[in-house]
């Protein structure tokens, strides 16, 4: 479940940030987004709501929300994609052919995390982790 936009805006205000119409629109859009969203997609959605928003304002707000723990990002393909931090660790599975993506939830990826830790002593963080391969549909078309 995503955080309430008003909770996020309140946390920003508490840190001394002004509640501009642009910031409100960015926070509202990102907090109502389910799953992942690429920054350029967020820019377009925010501009649809509030024309004239500067792209850099959206990118700075994404960075700030990640720093504050509301968002996380993963590199899915060529660019980062953001999702709510409360989605927990999950492995991103990206099809190299069609570009589709799906997540392997934390409870299903726990065995892989334990395997890496047991074998190497290294505890992985799957927040930014993506595996490239072929989805079932593309494999079936071979």
- Per-residue pLDDT band for 124 (boundaries 50, 70, 90) equals confident
Count of domains in the chain?
Answer: 2
Range of the domain at 71: 5-78
CB 36 within 8 A of CB 101: yes
User: Both 11 and 71 in a single domain?
Assistant: yes
CB 62 within 8 A of CB 71: yes
Q: Is 132 helix (H, G, I), strand (E, B) or coil?
A: strand
Residue 83 lies in a domain: no
User: Both 100 and 73 in a single domain?
Assistant: no
User: Both 65 and 124 in a single domain?
Assistant: no
pLDDT of residue 68: 92
Q: Is 125 helix (H, G, I), strand (E, B) or coil?
A: coil
**Among the listed residues 134, 131, 82, 125, the one whose alpha carbon sits nearest the alpha carbon of residue 106:** 125
pLDDT of residue 60: 93
Q: What is the pTM of this model?
A: 0.63
Distance, in Å, from the CA atom of 28 to the CA atom of 65, rounded to the nearest integer, reads: 12
The pLDDT of 102-117, averaged and rounded, is 84
Q: What is the pLDDT of residues 30-76, one digit of tens each?
A: 888 877 788 888 999 999 999 989 999 999 999 999 899 888 877 66
Residue 117: CATH number of its domain: 3.30.1490.190
Q: Which of 17-31, 63-77, 121-135 has the highest mean pLDDT?
A: 17-31
User: Both 72 and 30 in a single domain?
Assistant: yes
Distance, in Å, from the CA atom of 53 to the CA atom of 47, rounded to the nearest integer, reads: 6
Distance, in Å, from the CA atom of 111 to the CA atom of 133, rounded to the nearest integer, reads: 20
């Amino acid at each position: 479940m995503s955080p309430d936009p008003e909770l996020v805006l309140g946390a920003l205000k508490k840190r001394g940030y002004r509640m501009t119409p642009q910031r409100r629109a960015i926070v509202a859009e990102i907090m109502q987004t389910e799953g992942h969203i690429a920054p350029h997609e967020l820019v377009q959605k925010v501009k649809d709501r509030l024309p004239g928003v500067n792209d850099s304002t959206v990118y700075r707000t994404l960075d700030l929300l990640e720093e504050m723990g509301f968002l996380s990002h993963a590199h899915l393909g060529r660019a980062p994609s953001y999702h709510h931090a409360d989605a927990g660790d999950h492995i991103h599975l990206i099809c190299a052919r069609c570009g589709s993506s799906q997540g392997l939830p934390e409870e299903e990826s726990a065995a892989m995390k334990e395997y890496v830790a047991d074998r190497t002593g290294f505890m992985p963080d799957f927040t930014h982790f993506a595996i490239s391969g072929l989805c079932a549909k593309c494999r079936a078309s071979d």
